[in-house]
A and B are shown apart, each in its own frame.
Chain A
Amino acid sequence: MEKPSLDLVRGTLDLLILKTLSWGRFHGYDVAAMIRQETEEKLLVEDGALYPALHRMETKGWIESEWGVSENNRRAKFYRLTPEGRRKLQAESRTWQEYAAAVAKVLSSTRGQAAGEI
């Protein structure tokens, strides 16, 4: 699969992060791992791209952070959703699904061939 455009990636990445954090409180490494896993390595080519996204979303108030201790006893920064983030996730998911459905519909339409084919 070719690399999608930057804006598309950014918007999609935000959505994925929100979804991931809706499952709990994680640090950046875990979020990266989970996204890689769920998308089967298709998105998130570089781990580092995650962090600007996380910081940006924090300034917007969708997620909040606090320092804690990781499983391997290290000091790590944990993120979780804010109520506003939760609302944002719901809205964006709906938009995404509507968008995807509309595109899929167009792509699978048989308009031009309908008359000719049975």
Chain B
Amino acid sequence: MRRTDGWRRYLSFIGPSVETDVGDELQFHLDTKIEELKKSGWQPDQARREAARQFGNVAQYRTLCEQIDKEHLKKMERADYFAGWKQDIVYASRQLRKSIGSTVSATLTLALGIGAVTAIFSVIYAVVLQPLPFPEPDRIVTIWTTRDGKDDVVIPRNFDAWKTQATSFTKLAALEHRGFTLTDGDEPIQVTGARVSSDYFDVFGVSPQIGRTFSPEEDRVGGPRVALISHRLWKQRFDSNPGVLGKDIQLNRLAHTIVGVMPASFDLRPDGEQVWIPLTLRPQAMNWTGGVLYVFGRLQPHSDLRQAQLEMDVLAKNLETLYPDVNQGRGVRVGLFVHDLVGDYRQRLTVLFGAVLFVLLIACANVANLLLARGTARAKELAIRAAHGATGRRLFRQLIVESAMIAAISALMGGALAVAGIQIVQALTPHSVPRIGEAALNGPSLLFALCLGLGTTLLFGALPAWRSLRLDLQSGLREGGRGSEGSVRDWVRTAYVAGEVSLALLLLAGAGLLIRSSIAALQLEPGFTMDNVLTVRTALPRAQYSSAKDIVQAFDKIIEQLVEVPGVTAVSLSSKVPMGPGSAGVVLKPGATSSDSLKSELSAEVRYIGPDYLAALGIPLRKGRDLTGFDDADSRQVVLVNETLARRLWPDSDAVGQSIRIPELNAERPVWEVAGIVGDVREDGLMQPVPGVLFIPFRQVGLSPWQWTQQSAYLIIKTRIPPLDIADQARKAVREVDSMLATGDQQTMEQRFSASIATARLYTILLTSLGAIGLLLTAVGIYGVVAYFVTRQQSELAVRVALGASPRQLMLLVVAQGMKPVAIGVAAGALLAQGLGQSLSSQVFMATAADPATLFAVILILAVVACAACCLPALRAVRVDPMVILRRE
């Protein structure tokens, strides 16, 4: 006989107490012994004592037996418990295998939901939630100059003033972006870099991986030329060789000694700085009127963001009084570094996360309905098992185990899908998103996935299982598996469908808005012709090119070379290309223009262009004339303005022939005459407003303004053939003029355009895909529920047919019934959409969040799909022969 049964019999015969049993057993022995002794003539007391003596220490033996029995009992209970679970799992897997179709679809649905949510969460964690790899990252701040509420970079004089006067910061450092041509023997390359003050790295609290950071002595004019390189550059260019310390590299043809390498954790963005050199602010820099510095600080332990902001506000006011020419109307904003870094990705990712969560909820609702239907079909089987002694709790446990198994498998599959999903997102995301490379299925996101698996089990498993607890066994047996308490179940099903529909509506509404805004944006004219244009940047190092004449000569020669390349139709240059990086600007003061038309300050972008700029980019000339080769250093200073600037500067008169004072460009000859007006170009991207731009012929640019663009320019090459075909020749042409020149940032204009809309496009695609998936899942869910109802009401429908109902009436009945929860869902969803629309409005361009047309279109799509989902089972119902159904009863 098995151990288990013996143990059970033990229990069933006696009573549950181990102590009583042992006591009884030993007492029997003693009593029997006493009886025997009494029979042999012993007196009762003496017999009792003798019996005890012969027995030994009764209490001790008793305790020993009790211990043995109790331990055994515990072991048996444990084994029984686990056996029960094993039984449940075996049974559950058998059940799941029996209805393999619905099991697979449920698992896949959930896996998709869990995978998608986990993938997005991993991305959010890496980009937004993960703490920065710096000590106390929430004490690091960025400090901006503000003008009209917009952030702007800081002028050196202000930085100097803040450094001496501000008390809220333990460290205050500045950074100026620079591009460098790096030559170290191999082919020269262009790298992004920066000039930083000596305590820049201290602000972030990051020590170099090897070597050291700059000392204050090195951050002085005339100090030794040193440099720090990034971990990425160290790996790519120097093979992670520790021997780079002390090595000299040429940055813009000036030798710098490498004194340190920063760790990989400092590479926050794939397109971030690779090289740092000391800032060495010259005294002349104090007179600059244009901002160039990004300022970072670390808050004092006793200070916080608000206090720092208050102090800086006061300082700003002081500076306004002291230096009104540069600080008039300027404020200061102190912001958390991490917020400024992550910026609007936080919001976008949150919306995305919400969308994915909706899809998961829809998936859960589908699976719940699936299991509900299965539960109903198995009511008979469950009733029989209950009659055989299975408690409600045990049945509940079994159903939960089933749900848990589906959830566990889904979680595993979901994890695999998440890994794939993360790879896909990383491949598609532009490189400017910080820390996107770190997104992985790491600890936090794995934990998150597990919680999801658990949560979904509860969500879709609990309700059907709970129903089984309150099973009406009688009706289950009688009705052949179609319980009469179905009315309550119907309500639950209706609720699930309505919920799904409203979530799907929200998803589609969001996607619809984004699509609408994308379409609106794409319909905008960029203002220039993008096809067959190659752009490539080159910089002329100051060491070799120290006068404006040298610079102009070099660029002229380069253009000459490029024109000779076969396939080229036009060549020009520009300090900035549309949708390209960097810009230089000036602030025009009131009175700077003729006819005294400028009443308040206006900032304008400044661009140095070659003669064929308009031709190369296909920008129309609206009025006046284009710049020509005759506009050089000896002739009159002329500019072109774009329509926006013309409108702003001379709203009431013709801009052509007017003049502007721009002392920053040329202090001795500050007057420039407007020669022509060019068409507006969407310089900063399709969805950004058009800036006002001043075009200066590059031959008339003085040395100082060339510094603003670091003596660099983009070569713009219009071709007859695919532009990338001539890329190599273009580079060679540059090197013909000077073999040590490097080229960089080579892209066609079409590539630049794609990149500028990449994020928005990805976002729209993702949200639309999610909307489509949500719609599909909802349709499947509706289909399932309507099919279920049709099956359940077969007899009813058969009776109706027998009584003369036409197929059309029947269909209408079924469809109407199916569309009821859909209608509820649509109503609820539409209301919610109005409310949530506000949060999307900041990302929506040209379409208001509560756009009725989009909402209407979405409702229409939803209704049509839902209707189709209802019609299919309805058609099936109609085709069935009523006599077959009725006879079956």
B68 at the A interface (CB under 8 A)? yes
| Contact assessment for A27 and B64 in the assembled complex, using a CB-CB cutoff below 8 Å | no
Known contacts A61-B3, A66-B9, A77-B28: does B64 contact A52 (CB below 8 Å)?
yes
Q: Which residues of A contact B14 (CB under 8 A)?
A: 67
A108 at the B interface (CB under 8 A)? no
Known contacts A48-B55, A48-B58: does B65 contact A72 (CB below 8 Å)?
no
- How many chain A residues touch B (CB < 8 A): the figure is 26
| Contact assessment for B56 and A59 in the assembled complex, using a CB-CB cutoff below 8 Å | no
CB-contacts of B1-35 with A (<8 A): 1, 3, 6, 9-10, 13-14, 21-22, 24-26, 28-29, 31-33, 35
Q: Which residues of A contact B33 (CB under 8 A)?
A: 29, 47
A46 at the B interface (CB under 8 A)? yes
What number of A-B contacts does a CB cutoff of 8 Å give?
A: 72
B69 at the A interface (CB under 8 A)? yes
| Contact assessment for B65 and A32 in the assembled complex, using a CB-CB cutoff below 8 Å | no
What is the distance, in angstroms, from B176's C-beta to the closest C-beta of chain A? 82
Expressed in whole angstroms, the Cα–Cα distance for A77 and B13 within the complex equals: 11
A99 at the B interface (CB under 8 A)? no
CB-contacts of A26-71 with B (<8 A): 27-29, 32, 46-49, 51-52, 55-56, 58-59, 61, 64-67, 70
What is the distance, in angstroms, from A3's C-beta to the closest C-beta of chain B? 13
B72 at the A interface (CB under 8 A)? yes
What are the interface flags for A69-85 relative to B under an 8 Å C-beta threshold, 1 for contact and 0 otherwise?
A: 01010111100001000
Expressed in whole angstroms, the Cα–Cα distance for A46 and B50 within the complex equals: 12
CB-contacts of B48-66 with A (<8 A): 54-58, 60-61, 64-65
Q: Which residues of B contact A48 (CB under 8 A)?
A: 26, 55-58, 60-61
Q: Which residues of B contact A76 (CB under 8 A)?
A: 25, 28
| Contact assessment for A47 and B55 in the assembled complex, using a CB-CB cutoff below 8 Å | yes
Expressed in whole angstroms, the Cα–Cα distance for A67 and B1 within the complex equals: 17
| Contact assessment for A65 and B29 in the assembled complex, using a CB-CB cutoff below 8 Å | no
| Contact assessment for B55 and A46 in the assembled complex, using a CB-CB cutoff below 8 Å | yes
Q: Which residues of A contact B55 (CB under 8 A)?
A: 46-48
Known contacts A51-B61, A52-B61: does B29 contact A29 (CB below 8 Å)?
yes
| Contact assessment for A55 and B68 in the assembled complex, using a CB-CB cutoff below 8 Å | yes
| Contact assessment for A28 and B56 in the assembled complex, using a CB-CB cutoff below 8 Å | no
Expressed in whole angstroms, the Cα–Cα distance for A56 and B32 within the complex equals: 23
What is the distance, in angstroms, from B665's C-beta to the closest C-beta of chain A? 100
What is the distance, in angstroms, from B436's C-beta to the closest C-beta of chain A? 62
Q: Which residues of A contact B31 (CB under 8 A)?
A: 74
Expressed in whole angstroms, the Cα–Cα distance for A47 and B61 within the complex equals: 10
| Contact assessment for B28 and A56 in the assembled complex, using a CB-CB cutoff below 8 Å | no
Known contacts A49-B61, A52-B68, A56-B68: does B28 contact A70 (CB below 8 Å)?
yes
What is the distance, in angstroms, from A83's C-beta to the closest C-beta of chain B? 9
What is the distance, in angstroms, from A79's C-beta to the closest C-beta of chain B? 10
Q: Which residues of A contact B9 (CB under 8 A)?
A: 66
| Contact assessment for A77 and B32 in the assembled complex, using a CB-CB cutoff below 8 Å | no
Expressed in whole angstroms, the Cα–Cα distance for A67 and B14 within the complex equals: 8
Expressed in whole angstroms, the Cα–Cα distance for A77 and B25 within the complex equals: 6
What is the distance, in angstroms, from A27's C-beta to the closest C-beta of chain B? 7
| Contact assessment for B56 and A70 in the assembled complex, using a CB-CB cutoff below 8 Å | no
Q: Which residues of A contact B3 (CB under 8 A)?
A: 61
Q: Which residues of B contact A66 (CB under 8 A)?
A: 9-10, 13
Instruction: Name the one of B1, B25, B72 contacting A64, with C-beta atoms under 8 angstroms.
Output: B1
| Contact assessment for A46 and B56 in the assembled complex, using a CB-CB cutoff below 8 Å | yes
Expressed in whole angstroms, the Cα–Cα distance for A29 and B27 within the complex equals: 11
CB-contacts of B552-609 with A (<8 A): none
Which chain A residue lies CB-closest to B75?
A59
Expressed in whole angstroms, the Cα–Cα distance for A115 and B773 within the complex equals: 101
Q: Which residues of A contact B60 (CB under 8 A)?
A: 48
Expressed in whole angstroms, the Cα–Cα distance for A49 and B68 within the complex equals: 14
| Contact assessment for B1 and A82 in the assembled complex, using a CB-CB cutoff below 8 Å | yes
Q: Which residues of B contact A28 (CB under 8 A)?
A: 25, 28-29
Q: Which residues of B contact A56 (CB under 8 A)?
A: 68
| Contact assessment for B13 and A70 in the assembled complex, using a CB-CB cutoff below 8 Å | no
Instruction: Name the one of A58, A59, A64, A72 contacting B32, with C-beta atoms under 8 angstroms.
Output: A72
CB-contacts of A12-29 with B (<8 A): 27-29
CB-contacts of B62-98 with A (<8 A): 64-65, 68-69, 71-72
Which chain B residue lies CB-closest to A56?
B68
Which chain A residue lies CB-closest to B65?
A55
| Contact assessment for A65 and B35 in the assembled complex, using a CB-CB cutoff below 8 Å | no
Which chain B residue lies CB-closest to A65?
B10
| Contact assessment for B54 and A29 in the assembled complex, using a CB-CB cutoff below 8 Å | no
What is the distance, in angstroms, from A109's C-beta to the closest C-beta of chain B? 40
Binding site for A on B (CB under 8 A): 1, 3, 6, 9-10, 13-14, 21-22, 24-26, 28-29, 31-33, 35, 54-58, 60-61, 64-65, 68-69, 71-72
A sample of 15 cross-chain residue pairs with beta-carbon separation below 8 angstroms, ordered by A number, consists of A28-B25, A29-B32, A46-B55, A48-B55, A48-B58, A51-B26, A51-B29, A52-B64, A55-B65, A59-B68, A61-B3, A66-B13, A67-B13, A74-B28, A77-B28
The 4 residue pairs across chains A and B that have the minimum distance between CB atoms: A46-B56, A48-B56, A48-B61, A59-B72
With A46-B54, A59-B68 given, can you name 6 additional A-B contacts, CB distance below 8 Å? Answer: A29-B32, A29-B33, A48-B56, A49-B61, A64-B6, A66-B13
